[in-house]
Structure 1
Amino acid sequence: MTDTILPGALLDVENLSLAVTATGTKVVRGVSFTVAPGEIVGIVGESGSGKTLAARSIMALQPPAIRRTAGTIRFEGRDLAGLSAKALRDLRGGRIGMVFQEPMTSLNPSMTIGRQLEEGLAVHQRQQSAEGRRAQVLDMLRRVGIADPDGALGAYPHQFSGGMRQRIMLASVMLLQPALLIADEPTTALDAVVQRDVLELMVGLTRAHGTAVLMISHDLSMVARYTDRIIVMRKGEIVEQGRSDELLRAPRHPYTRALLSAMPRRQPARPIPPVATPIIEVRDLVVEYGGRRGLFRKEAGKRALHGLSLSIMPREVVALVGGSGSGKTTLGRAIAGLLPPSAGTIRYAGRPIGAGGAEWADYRRNCQMVFQDPYSSLDPRMTIGALVGEALRTVPDMGRGEKAERVVEVLSEVGLGKPFADRYPHELSGGQRQRVAIARAVVRRPAFVIADEPVSALDVTVRAQVLELFADLQARHGFSCLFISHDLGVVEQVADRVVVMQDGRIVEQGDRDTVFDHPAHPYTRRLLSAIPALEPAGEGGVRLKWRFDDAVPVAVPS
């Protein structure tokens, strides 16, 4: 599908095709689009749609195994195919900048922040003095919200949070005032509040400098909020593109409608049968990390959880939300017995659990965990059948044949079936591996499951399938669940009750509808206001709506 070339387009991609050099397999086919000066264009699509390859090819940064087979890329009127290696180096950073998904992979861990930010200026602005470059770096660090710019110059990337690292990455790119910024999933790993702060900063900086933006993302709500136009890609092709509001309101292509319909939606509240005894009861839980011992003194430890108390009822799904560093995962791991509490008690079915004994063994059998990244939690040397069946090793009075039948049964329940039992984790897609992780957690028919960011790494449609599967298994087997997530849309769909954490403390908890519609704590309101919602608008379309209608306009940094 082609797009009308805008008069005076900054970037003009026409009939671009990319293929694997060894096999000739096309991974991008006939892609055409334009970006005007100062325009913000979003590219959306699932993994494997070709959006990142198409964007990287603009700077000739596609992998060595991928080559361009057709098409032209013109930037500021020049055909980039004819540029020399030196001209391309001058273009990268100087006129076209790129912000990557994970800044820790693009920031050098062995170089200070000051050296890394000054490096681009030294390459592209050789006439400037060292003092001038330092002053320019300090000014940009202030503009991106670094509290101590002078101190940051001598610090290393690992000394900053994910949000601060992304701000530093953005500062390094915008220092050179490029005409085009390519942002490849710039906020995927960030929590809601930090995500919004970084995007507001990025849009403000680019507006101040008149920089155009090509934003690659699978987050439709954020793309809808910040872009002028949206390009939808599927299997290496553009299936639809147009103005953001028009495309969302009346999508023409079935794939676009499928993407929009896969967005999380609030389900009717489920009736939870009243039970006197909670399945999990946490009282005054404290977790502290011990300090390091130096030559003459021991550094003070850090308290991660400050006397938390909560309960989870049978068949209930309780969502744990909060920003990065709020203690969500620490609480989940402490309840699972993977972290020793410093103080407080954890009860299972009314009985305290200790560090051993029959009660502890019974609890470990009935408490299972689904991790965020299944690939790192599945042994690559074991088959899927062995991985799922491993959880049944200590089940008493269950023969080998019964265990094999249970493995096939649960694989069928998660939509995989018997043929997958002989495969290995690397032979499965990300969504299939997450289904295996869920199967391994429920194969013992546990009473309680902890799901730690179980769908954050999945595409929109795969995420919808896994959430539907999880809800079906929970309804069928009746296990309780602690669902840890920073994705408020997902929480709104799956949770019966919501617990909000900030700085190791619970600041608010209540039933889902009350917390989402009438938040009592300022932090909860800020968290919910950070992410726009997409509401159904009929005919397969959606409309953008900020929660509470109190979104702050995009600020232009001074």
Structure 2
Amino acid sequence: MTDTKLLSVEGLRLVVAHSGLEVVKGVSFSVAPGEIVGIVGESGSGKTLAAKAIMSLEPPSIRRTAGTIHFEGRDIAQLSPAELRELRGARIGMVFQEPMTSLNPSMLIGRQLDEGLALHRNLSAEERRALVLDMLRRVGIKDPEGALTSYPHQFSGGMRQRIMLASVMLLQPALLVADEPTTALDAVVQRDVLELMVELTRARGTAVLMISHDLSMVARYTDRIIVMCRGEIVEEGATEELLRDPRHPYTRKLLAAMPRRLPTRDIPPATTPIVEVRDLVVDYGGKQGFFRKEPGKRALHGINLAIKPREVVALVGGSGSGKTTLGRAIAGLLKPSGGEIRYAGRSIVPGSEGWNDYRFNCQMVFQDPYSSLDPRMTIGSLVLEALRQVPNMSARDKIARVHEVLGEVGLGETYADRYPHELSGGQRQRVAIARAIVRRPAFVIADEPVSALDVTVRAQVLDVFADLQERHGFSCLFISHDLGVVEQIADRVVVMKDGQIVEEGDRDAIFDRPQHPYTRQLLSAIPVLEATAGGGLHLKWRLDDEARMPDAAFA
């Protein structure tokens, strides 16, 4: 790493054109060649807008009013559109948060990877193809030839992120901007993608600007951290020093919001589980073609699971392990191919005597509240809808219950007349929780309820959820790939792989003494931040003796 600045941002100010609201306020920072810099902060802090301004990719509604951005000594604001096109991709690459929206769904992968090379490199078609195939192999695509003739939707989220990284690194940029590159990926895939990104950038001397709300990952992979709050940089410094001795109150607030293991709860003994599944099987049918039918896939292989009253059971595992399928089958949203679901000791099948009672007492909190809340309905109407079939409850009592539950989730009755688009992500998730608990159910399924939330909002929502669970005593199946969250909220942990349960046990036993190799792999994939005596945090890996440290591969 040299002292020469590859990127220099000085006094950057961005405003919303129609209102004049300043969203980035005098931001200054620099990145040296080969340096990995993390930008952290809550949603709305200006991280992504400041990063997009580097490539002049601000939304049309955002206007720059002051400041300069120099890249390799050139003032970005003085470049012509043609010069900007030459710069983007070739010298500055960007990996976006959701690869499915940045990869063209109607174009073959091969054509999308070839596009940048054809535009920026004077190579023959055969040379470009060879480079593409080599890069796909390097990012871990098992069948590079087959990938060239495939579409983005035919790959998992982790594979799409690898392909996105391949498309950027093919051009060997001097700076890579990674905007939330591992959001919604499971633990093992997160680590694989980030190790791959570090390996590729170090091999080519590429600098990285990593934007993320995952503090543990930023702490592990960056040389320096910049902390932003409400459009301003409030603190920056070497990663280890900033974690060990945070100075600004906002930085301390961010670090204090990291999930932490809570004391073990006392769960009252029960002879009858509130929900139990026996030998549950779910098969997905194959596609029907003109002349043949493709074989189906078995998503769940004879699952046996029992959840006690008041218990929080966390379901963890990689993408495609069957976690969400199991949750949706228990909720009655998927029809099992075999096996049995029991509620309070009674077998439950659609149309049976206890089916309606079970459906009323089994509620679900979905991963993305924005897509599960009707944008045309007010918050009050959305929560009230869950009470529509409650017998012997007057309209006045229903409205009173809605106002009560909005207060319980930390919103208050003043939010009843608002619409989903008027709320932040954390507030919408509170509404989703309110809808699930307004009937006072006995059992709640929470499917990745905080995966897309930033650190402080996630902590607030988890506190609300834990308080409600303690107050109303519902049991919960908590589906998550965030092991830190699981460690904080779960009483018991169930680990799934390839549609089967490979290990289950009390939280402390699973986290401290895992037995199955896959559980150990999951736990060793993600670094943790431990509190120090001085009020800071210290980075460590779980199961240090087994963790494959990334630096060893790049030494």
- TM-score under structure 2 length normalisation: 0.98
Q: Do 1:261 and 1:540's aligned partners in 2 also have CA atoms closer than 8 Å?
A: no
2:98 counterpart of 1:102: yes
The 2-side partners of 1:492 and 1:41 are apart by 28
Q: Do 1:318 and 1:495's aligned partners in 2 also have CA atoms closer than 8 Å?
A: yes
1:17 partner SS: strand
**TM superposition shift of 1:64:** 1.4
Q: Which residue of 2 aligns with 1:35?
A: 31
> Percent identity over the alignment?
78
2:421 partner SS: helix
Q: Which residue of 2 aligns with 1:513?
A: 508
Q: Do 1:27 and 1:235's aligned partners in 2 also have CA atoms closer than 8 Å?
A: yes
Q: Do 1:322 and 1:500's aligned partners in 2 also have CA atoms closer than 8 Å?
A: yes
The 2-side partners of 1:540 and 1:43 are apart by 21
Greater Cα shift, 111-120 or 444-453: 111-120
The 2-side partners of 1:7 and 1:122 are apart by 34
Structure 1 alignment gaps of length 5 or more = 1-5
**TM superposition shift of 1:463:** 0.7
Q: Which residue of 2 aligns with 1:180?
A: 175
2:367 counterpart of 1:366: no
Identify which of 262, 268, 271 aligns with 1:267: 262
Q: Which residue of 2 aligns with 1:414?
A: 409
Q: Which residue of 1 aligns with 2:117?
A: 121
2:47 counterpart of 1:51: yes
Letter of the 2:519 partner, please give it.
T
Letter of the 1:101 partner, please give it.
Q
Equivalent residue runs for 1:22-421 within 5 Å: 22-126=18-122, 128-421=123-416
**TM superposition shift of 1:556:** 5.3
2:453 partner SS: coil
The 1-side partners of 2:404 and 2:147 are apart by 55
The 2-side partners of 1:383 and 1:102 are apart by 28
Equivalent residue runs for 1:361-510 within 5 Å: 361-510=356-505
**TM superposition shift of 1:393:** 1.7
**TM superposition shift of 1:551:** 2.5
1:57 partner SS: helix
Runs in 1 of length 4+ with deviation above 6 angstroms? none
**Number of aligned residues:** 552
Q: Do 1:323 and 1:486's aligned partners in 2 also have CA atoms closer than 8 Å?
A: yes
The 2-side partners of 1:383 and 1:78 are apart by 50
The 2-side partners of 1:72 and 1:44 are apart by 22
Identify which of 503, 510, 523 aligns with 2:518: 523
The superposition leaves residues 476-525 of structure 1 with CA deviations (integer Å, 9 ceiling, x where unpaired) of: 11000000001000000000000000010000000000001111100000
Letter of the 1:533 partner, please give it.
V
The 1-side partners of 2:176 and 2:412 are apart by 45
The 2-side partners of 1:216 and 1:88 are apart by 22
The 2-side partners of 1:62 and 1:444 are apart by 44
2:59 partner SS: coil
**TM superposition shift of 1:318:** 0.2
The 1-side partners of 2:157 and 2:444 are apart by 28
The 1-side partners of 2:371 and 2:512 are apart by 37
1:108 partner SS: coil
**TM superposition shift of 1:557:** 7.7
The 2-side partners of 1:140 and 1:298 are apart by 34
Structure 2 alignment gaps of length 5 or more = none
Letter of the 1:165 partner, please give it.
R
Letter of the 1:400 partner, please give it.
A
The 2-side partners of 1:337 and 1:441 are apart by 15
- TM-score under structure 1 length normalisation: 0.97
**TM superposition shift of 1:156:** 1.4
The 2-side partners of 1:154 and 1:398 are apart by 58
2:4 counterpart of 1:14: no
The superposition leaves residues 36-90 of structure 1 with CA deviations (integer Å, 9 ceiling, x where unpaired) of: 1100000001111000010110110111111211111111112222111111111
Taking only aligned residues, the RMSD between alpha carbons, in angstroms, comes to 1.3
1:358 partner SS: coil
1:105 partner SS: helix
The 1-side partners of 2:115 and 2:32 are apart by 29
